[in-house]
Chain A
Amino acid sequence: MTLTSDRKLTIALLVALPVAAALTDNAFYKAVLVFGMINAVAAVGLCLMLGFAGQISLGQAAFYGLGAYGTTLMASRFGVEPVLAIAAGALLSMAVGWSISRPLSRLHDHYLAMATLAFGIIMFIVFANARSLTGGLDPGTSIAKFSIMGRDLSSMNQLFWVVWVGLVLAAFVAGNIASNQIGRSLLAVKMSAAAAASVGIDVVRAKAFVFAIGALLTGLSGGLYAYFARSFNATSFGIGYSIELLMMVVLGSLSRVSGAIVGAFIITVLPVVFENFEDYKTLTFGVTMVIIMKYMPSGLVDGILGLPGRLSRRAKA
């Protein structure tokens, strides 16, 4: 896969979402859609880090939590306008992402995975224990309804559009990065740090940038989650969520923004679908993952887009 800008596919997905929402009256399905979009925003962030720059992070839940708690604190303690509170949460997350990138910039692959995993665990412990700020595990914390300039927009239908705008913004920025020199610099750092440096790319700065933007988007996702859940505790920001995000990105496509969105919806929706399988739910989920990875190792999106070519080659043979 090269850096083809897959704008068209991304736009198609972004248009399909409101259509899907309009087709269902079921409040639960609508909530699943909204949660899927929230996850997609975070997945787009990780897609830039892992898919483009090759920087694996097993600590994304920490950024998600920083966004959620940052937003809640701004809104609840300082009475900040919700949109600004979300922005503040995302910026807090970005600042932390940027500052951990420097000590991490010498690490590669599994060492980086270990370090970010440790960061995620430490932040989880902080979230669970800094009870005066976060409410810890029990009772947790809660946030007022989402509103803009005093206008209540907290119904699921209204929240859908709020989150949709967030996803469109994330996809817009990530899509731009994918199709200009920033994306190429990130890809260059991933494929050969030495060659990247030899053409004038500041490798340390590129890594700091991608950690910052990845944390920003994941923090934005956390802020949206706060208004979606309204009441939550530290369990939402454990290692489990970091792993889920990783699955979304790997499953969808490592090299496409659209892949992150598709992956996010699969990981969000499949468990709901498999709910009918009762006891076999986890097993079915696991087997589905294995099958997808076995037959579409570069992700579902590339796998499906490559399917016509593969079939015609088989027909000729």
Chain B
Amino acid sequence: MLAIRNLNKRFGGLHALRDVSIDAPPGQITAVIGPNGAGKSTLMNVISGFISPDGGSITVAGTPITGMKPHEICRQGLARTFQNLQMFSDMTVLETVITGRTRHRRASLVANLLMTPRVWHDEKDAAQHAQTLLETMQIGPSYWQRRAGDLPYGLQRRVEIARALATEPAYMLLDEPAAGLNDEESVALGSTLRELAGRGIGIVLIEHDIELVMNFSRHIFVMDAGGVIADGTPEQVRSKPEVVKAYLGDEHGA
């Protein structure tokens, strides 16, 4: 379980997160939705260690990760993607995904500097593993040697997910993975995510694409003005008046 308890964060006078508590079980897609400025991205950055919270706790499978640095959090089995793509643009697609394997490499620094046979072997393994992940994300071999930054936007999003997968995470935070995708791509992404959840990965999906969220997530948390205002299954959330109000404004909700 990825358990978030009473998370608080203030930026000066802005209460960006107020007592946010979210549970994301393994093997499921848990969605966090909410209008712009609801605090979703702040939540994302706090969980992954890029921003430290003022209060509250985060645990991954019982291990507290609050206050850890981003790379330490990754090593606890929590990977993420970024809302504004953070690609290793000048690397090839394959190299980008291999880089995701960094935390699983065991060869010593000296072995690496001398490039011992063990390191060559590791390199081959990492490349093979990366190719499998690229296939999972439906990125064909014709793209593998292309410069990552030159790929179409939708594919870059998939490469980012493949890179996150390469860390072999127990949980993945996906920050608006469907942004900029067309309907068809978005549905394809949804089924890929469902497949990944089927492998036991707990996926936290922060998303604007309501169709994607409603069709593919098991449990939805709705945020507004820094707090969680509702949660439940897609059907439950859809019918809650406070959700409709947060999304459509008072007149429509009334």
Q: Which residues of A contact B166 (CB under 8 A)?
A: 199
Q: How many chain-B residues does the 8 Å CB contact rule pick out?
A: 41
> Which A residues, 153 to 197, have Cβ-Cβ distances below 8 Å to chain B?
173, 176-177, 179-182, 184-185, 187-188, 191-192, 194-197
The stretch among B59-67, B68-76, B191-199, B220-228 that forms the contact with chain A is B68-76
Establish whether residues B82 and A194, one from each chain, have CB atoms under 8 Å apart when the complex forms. yes
The stretch among A117-125, A200-208, A231-239 that forms the contact with chain B is A200-208
With an 8 A cutoff between CB atoms, is A3 at the interface?
Answer: yes
Q: Which residues of B contact A191 (CB under 8 A)?
A: 87-91
B91-118 Cβ-contact flags toward A at 8 Å (1 or 0): 1100100111111010001001111000
Establish whether residues A198 and B87, one from each chain, have CB atoms under 8 Å apart when the complex forms. no
Known: A200-B71, A203-B71. A3 touches B91 (CB 8 A): yes
Establish whether residues A185 and B99, one from each chain, have CB atoms under 8 Å apart when the complex forms. yes
With an 8 A cutoff between CB atoms, is A2 at the interface?
Answer: yes
> Which of A187, A194, A197, A198 interacts with B164 by CB under 8 Å?
A198
Q: Which residues of B contact A200 (CB under 8 A)?
A: 71, 74-75, 102-103, 167
Establish whether residues B50 and A194, one from each chain, have CB atoms under 8 Å apart when the complex forms. yes
- Nearest residue, chain A, Cβ from B89: A191
Least CB distance from A187 to B in Å reads 6
Q: Which residues of B contact A196 (CB under 8 A)?
A: 71, 99
With an 8 A cutoff between CB atoms, is A12 at the interface?
Answer: no
Establish whether residues A182 and B112, one from each chain, have CB atoms under 8 Å apart when the complex forms. yes
Known: A192-B87, A195-B86, A199-B164. A176 touches B112 (CB 8 A): yes
Cα(A196)–Cα(B101), bound, Å: 11
> Which A residues, 213 to 262, have Cβ-Cβ distances below 8 Å to chain B?
255
Establish whether residues B91 and A201, one from each chain, have CB atoms under 8 Å apart when the complex forms. no
Which residues of A are at the interface with B, using a C-beta cutoff of 8 A? Answer: 1-3, 173, 176-177, 179-182, 184-185, 187-188, 191-192, 194-203, 209, 255
